[in-house]
Structure 1
Amino acid sequence: MKKISALFIALFLLSGGQAFAAGDAAVATLSQSMDTIWVMIAAFLVFFMHAGFAMVETGFTRSKNALNILMKNLLTMSIGAVLYFIIGYGIMFGTSSGGFIGTNGFFLLGQSENIGFFVFQAVFAATCATIISGAVAERMKLISYIAVTIAMVAIVYPVVGHWIWGGGWLSELGFTDFAGSTVVHLTGAIGAVVAVSFLGGRIGKYSNGKVNVIQGHNIPLGALGVFILWFGWFGFNAGSTLSASDALIPIIVATTLLSASGGVIGSALYSYIRYKQIDASLTLNGALAGLVGITAGTASVSPIGAIFIGLIAGVILIEAVQLIDRRVKLDDPVGAIAVHGVCGVWGTVAVGLFAVEGGLFYEGGAALLLVQVIGVLAVIAWTSVTLGTFLFIYTRFSSIRVSREEEIQGLDFAEHGSTAYELRGGILNNNETPSSGSPFGHGLVDRLNRLEKPKADRKAEVGG
């Protein structure tokens, strides 16, 4: 009897242990699935940010270039994803060579288990490149912009990412950039500085010793873009936890919200103090300034610290726009260099000041602050030298700027043979048909329509 009882007890314990083991495996599988879903949702939000960039850039520039800007943003995302798959991911997250560059994982070979992580990082890479789009708007050849995008996504950005997120030398020093104030935003902004330096200003921007304002054509569209970017930024920052169960997610969302709000308030108040009015475009960019400013330290600072970071970013933005536009004379139609570059530097350095653990204001000393400064300087040097060398060589063979006539006409018609807006109804009589060369026509559309006409009609249009 005792033997039978012992047997039953042993079987019970064995089955119970198996049940517990099966339960643990199920929990682990569920946790992994939730993490994957969380990262994918965050990737979708960051992807949607590209719609925000397109709307901001389109609204803050002139209508005759709207189609060109939309095409640049669409191509940036598409080319960026493919290039990052081929080479960028391997350079960024492959086995490190001297802490400088990754050496394997190209085409995601041997990385099949990291396919979700690749998607998340690919939309980040395209975000870095598309920052340049707004700064070079209205005068850069599309093919030249594509060449710059290739250089940024294939080489410049992945190397910076490896240094900081891929186990490279800056990460070993203790450099902190949780979601990309430096990796994404500063890198893209320095790329913009280099490109704009080679391009020069738009026609009429700097003339007779004056700095002329070239008004954007649709500020409400730009405002929509700002709200889209703000919405997507919650995925940009919180998704960088890479885990749905991470306890930092609520604090990250809160600091993101508060810093952006601080940026709006700071830029609105400061523009009122300086100009006696609340400037709409600067205040809209103030939200982005606060978002860029908090991206590095979103998981490291307190909500109060986030508000201060945003407030200061909003003030810095306005001064940076004036400095870049009027003193340095870099023609940046959308303020990308100030928003992503200057505020990216501020956000990175702010970690060394406001980080709850290690920050100077929390009795952590200056060690973290020094590392942050070193990282900023290294990224500025790498990006400017690498992209500068690329463009120097490129411009020896081809101009990167459209002709004067094309710029005056608008890049929509010059680059795409079409326009973003229908202008016939407001300019031409109902019975008038524009010629294929008319600045009011749809260009390529008109030419294609003419091909459908009888041969006799086409001869009559061109004088027999």
Structure 2
Amino acid sequence: MDMEMAVSLDTVWVLLGAVLVFFMQAGFAMVETGFTRAKNAGNIIMKNIMDFSVGSIIYWVFGFGIMFGDSIGGVIGSLDLFVKGTYDFGVPTFAFLIFQTVFCATAATIVSGAMAERTKFVSYLSYSFFISLIIYPIVGHWIWGGGFLAELGFVDFAGSTVVHSVGGWAALVGAAVIGPRIGKYTKEGKAKVIPGHSITLGALGVFILWFGWFGFNPGSQLAASGLENAEAIASIFITTNLAAAMGAIMSMAVTWIKYGKPDVSMTLNGALAGLVGITAGTASVTPIGAAIIGAIAGVVIVFSVEFVDHVLKIDDPVGAVSVHGVCGALGTLMVGFFAVDGGLFYGGGASLLLTQLIGVLAVAAWTMTTAFILFKSIDKLVGLRVSREEELEGLDITEHGMESYADFQLKSIIKE
């Protein structure tokens, strides 16, 4: 295959991956909408479209250069305003830019679910702006842009840590700072369930995310030309799918044993846990390794959600902290055990595992520290949370002046 044909094929593959990852934005919107209450559905849709819109502009102007510009001390890339520099990604720079843009948007979107139903819209736009501007791109530079973790040999093929843990740790801090929804905890501190209004929408979102992950992971191969790339893509498809399937199966089994009934929402999150968990090592592990990683994530997600809810008493309506933060870190560490090249279980010793641990801790420390400063600053400047009255009435009405469902509108008309 000649060079022009190879580059053309690789470019189309990267752009196809970008399209699939972009469609995941709809999946996140549906999961978050379904797992929360009807009175906030429009607000959630608005947040999901606007964090992508804001993130696209900020990442184009500033973020991409910070992430992929010439490294300054292995910590941050040099600015490349509006992406005018020359890069060698194997595909046109703009193809790589759009692929990385949709990844950046994913990190920002994760935070939305954990802080749903009580966050001011202007505050949401503010922190999405800064996550896309500085928090995410700096982590990306450390790992994918030639920074110090890349030099250590840290492995995160498609973003268990770069994307998901960044979103998950920021979500943890944001949910802690903003506090629980009204009625989530009793005076004695016991957690109460606040059911989402549509498990169907939530399930649709999970299926969309599962589908989009076939762009997220295989697309990160960044090349489709030649037999070696074709085999790698096929293998990544299999490891991605097996981990998701095992995550769902194990979450179902654990809840069935633990609660006496197989829990639907936890099973859905189990599939996502498996997907997040395999994302770091999807190109480094065997199908058996992927199935084991997915199974572990499917078990861990159940206990992590309970720990965040009942022990930490942090209200996370969609389980974003556990799915993305905990399982992102877990999946990254699992590379140190299951990677065929360098993994502990394949005779590689503990070196890779130690590197993975260093990377996970560094990213968690950076993200939680900067997120705490960010959320506290926003809270002081414009306020992070809506008023009690606004929260009780619903953010659709109070933040956007509309109702998302016609039956609610009909009730309002009858009352008038």
Identity %: 56
Contact preservation (8 Å) 2:403, 2:409: no
Structure 2 residue 106 is matched with structure 1 residue 134? no
Larger RCO: Structure 1 or Structure 2 (Cα < 8 Å, ≥ 6 residues apart)?
Answer: 2
SS in structure 1 of the partner of residue 389 of structure 2: helix
Shift of 1:111: 4.0
Q: Following the alignment from structure 1 to structure 2, what is the Cα–Cα distance between the partners of residues 75 and 426?
A: 28
Q: Following the alignment from structure 1 to structure 2, what is the Cα–Cα distance between the partners of residues 421 and 309?
A: 40
Shift of 1:109: 1.4
Counterpart of 2:239 in structure 1: which amino acid? T
Q: Following the alignment from structure 2 to structure 1, what is the Cα–Cα distance between the partners of residues 381 and 96?
A: 38
Q: Following the alignment from structure 1 to structure 2, what is the Cα–Cα distance between the partners of residues 111 and 118?
A: 12
Counterpart of 2:127 in structure 1: which amino acid? V
Q: Report the equivalent of 1:301.
A: 285
Q: Report the equivalent of 1:264.
A: 248
Shift of 1:68: 0.2
Q: Following the alignment from structure 2 to structure 1, what is the Cα–Cα distance between the partners of residues 244 and 283?
A: 15
Structure 2 residue 42 is matched with structure 1 residue 63? no
Contact preservation (8 Å) 1:105, 1:111: no
Shift of 1:184: 0.1
Q: Structure 1's 84 and 424: CA in aligned 2 closer, same or farther, altered over 3 A?
A: closer
Q: Structure 1's 398 and 414: CA in aligned 2 closer, same or farther, altered over 3 A?
A: same
Counterpart of 1:279 in structure 2: which amino acid? D
Q: Report the equivalent of 1:242.
A: 222
SS in structure 2 of the partner of residue 306 of structure 1: helix
Q: Report the equivalent of 2:82.
A: 107
Counterpart of 2:80 in structure 1: which amino acid? G
Q: 1:372 aligns with which of 356, 381, 390?
A: 356
Q: Report the equivalent of 1:191.
A: 170
Q: Report the equivalent of 2:337.
A: 353
Shift of 1:426: 6.3
Q: Report the equivalent of 1:385.
A: 369
Q: Report the equivalent of 1:216.
A: 196
Q: Following the alignment from structure 2 to structure 1, what is the Cα–Cα distance between the partners of residues 408 and 293?
A: 48
What stretches of structure 1 move > 3 A for 4+ residues in a row?
A: 424-428, 432-435
Shift of 1:350: 0.3
Q: Which runs of 5+ in 2 are unaligned?
A: none
Counterpart of 2:177 in structure 1: which amino acid? F
Structure 2 residue 217 is matched with structure 1 residue 230? no
Shift of 1:106: 2.2
Q: Which has the larger radius of gyration?
A: 1
Q: Following the alignment from structure 2 to structure 1, what is the Cα–Cα distance between the partners of residues 263 and 178?
A: 28
How many residues in Structure 1 have an aligned counterpart in Structure 2?
407
Counterpart of 1:203 in structure 2: which amino acid? I
Contact preservation (8 Å) 1:267, 1:318: yes
Q: 2:386 aligns with which of 399, 402, 412?
A: 402
Q: Report the equivalent of 2:269.
A: 285
Counterpart of 2:205 in structure 1: which amino acid? G
Structure 2 residue 61 is matched with structure 1 residue 86? yes
Contact preservation (8 Å) 1:132, 1:336: yes
Q: Normalising by structure 1, what TM-score?
A: 0.86
Q: Following the alignment from structure 1 to structure 2, what is the Cα–Cα distance between the partners of residues 118 and 424?
A: 42
- Give a deviation string over 1:243-300, Cα, whole Å, max 9, x none: 0121310110000000000101110111111111100000000000000000000000
Structure 2 residue 26 is matched with structure 1 residue 46? no
Shift of 1:110: 2.1
Counterpart of 2:319 in structure 1: which amino acid? G
Q: Following the alignment from structure 2 to structure 1, what is the Cα–Cα distance between the partners of residues 213 and 149?
A: 25
Q: Following the alignment from structure 2 to structure 1, what is the Cα–Cα distance between the partners of residues 288 and 137?
A: 33
Q: Following the alignment from structure 1 to structure 2, what is the Cα–Cα distance between the partners of residues 115 and 324?
A: 40
Shift of 1:389: 1.4
Contact preservation (8 Å) 1:94, 1:104: yes
